[in-house]
């Protein structure tokens, strides 16, 4: 009993920061070196992001398949080029993160491109626009967070190249979709939670961004079935006795 108490007293002296395997400087330096190594890949990533948004707005089955395929390519690239090749040397769990991102890529390819189970609606109501706005935020605003947080622009995180904006934009697209397989949600949700916890431990000023976007995407996704059911109920003919 005393040994358990001693062990507990020892572990209770640790904080989340003590369990972090790298410093904030090391973490953000990874992005700086990564961005320098893959430039001008950022132009291709931006073009892919714009193409994905354009395909989502076209509301055609073929366009949705293309969007899913491009999104799958982004997840696969982040899994290999960043998580496996660069993040893994400083974080032993990054290998598992890479497998998760690879699995998400395969799911997007199979369910979205091959099976065509991803369907996008028109931008007719506030909820659809808010969900689409999360995707736009992940693509175009997230890279600006480095400068807003006081970091050099060379350390920016960009959709299709870095995990956080890729996960956030994907959640936005999935919550925007009128039909999206539930299997596509767990990986981006888990990543945003893990990333938020990591940044919170580092006292990063933008630690709240990914979790907040996740919460909003979940609320919007949950709103869709309720709104759809309400619309169906209103359309039913009323009987009078």
Q: 65: which residues sit within 8 A by CB, 6+ positions away?
A: 112, 113, 116, 118
Contact 154, 36 (CB under 8 A): yes
The residue assigned the tokens 């358990």 is 4
Q: Which residue has better confidence, 10 or 21?
A: 21
pLDDT in tens, 125-176: 888 899 999 999 999 999 999 999 899 999 999 999 999 999 999 999 999 9
Query: In 3-state terms, what secondary structure has residue 87?
Result: helix
How many Å separate Cα 232 from the centre of its chain?
32
Per-chain mean pLDDT for the chain:
85
Residue 232: band (very low, low, confident or very high) from pLDDT cuts 50, 70, 90: very low
pTM, two decimal places: 0.85
Q: How far is CA 40 from CA 24, 34, 36, 37, 43, in A?
A: 26, 11, 9, 9, 6
Is 119 strand, coil or helix? strand
How far from 211 is each of 25, 34, 75, 203, 227, CA to CA, in Å?
Answer: 22, 24, 19, 15, 24
């Amino acid at each position: 009993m005393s040994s358990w108490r001693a062990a507990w007293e020892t572990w209770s002296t640790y904080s989340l920061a003590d369990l972090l395997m790298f410093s904030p400087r090391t973490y953000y330096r990874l992005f700086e070196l990564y961005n320098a190594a893959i430039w001008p890949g950022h132009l291709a990533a931006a073009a892919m992001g714009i193409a994905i948004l354009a395909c989502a707005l076209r509301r055609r089955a073929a366009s949705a398949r293309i969007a899913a395929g491009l999104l799958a390519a982004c997840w696969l690239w982040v899994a290999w080029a960043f998580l496996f090749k660069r993040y893994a040397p400083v974080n032993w769990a990054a290998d598992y993160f890479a497998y998760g991102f690879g699995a998400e890529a395969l799911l997007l390819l199979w369910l979205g491109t091959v099976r065509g189970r991803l369907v996008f609606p028109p931008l007719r109501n506030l909820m659809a626009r808010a969900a689409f706005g999360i995707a736009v935020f992940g693509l175009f605003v997230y890279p600006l967070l480095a400068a807003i947080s006081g970091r050099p622009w060379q350390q920016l995180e960009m959709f299709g190249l870095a995990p956080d904006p890729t996960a956030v934009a994907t959640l936005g697209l999935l919550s925007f979709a009128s039909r999206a397989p539930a299997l596509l949600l767990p990986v981006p949700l888990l990543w945003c939670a893990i990333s938020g916890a990591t940044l919170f431990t580092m006292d990063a000023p933008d630690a709240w961004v990914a979790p907040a976007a996740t919460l909003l995407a979940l609320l919007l996704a949950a709103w869709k079935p309720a709104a759809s059911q309400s619309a169906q109920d209103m359309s039913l003919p009323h009987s009078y006795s």
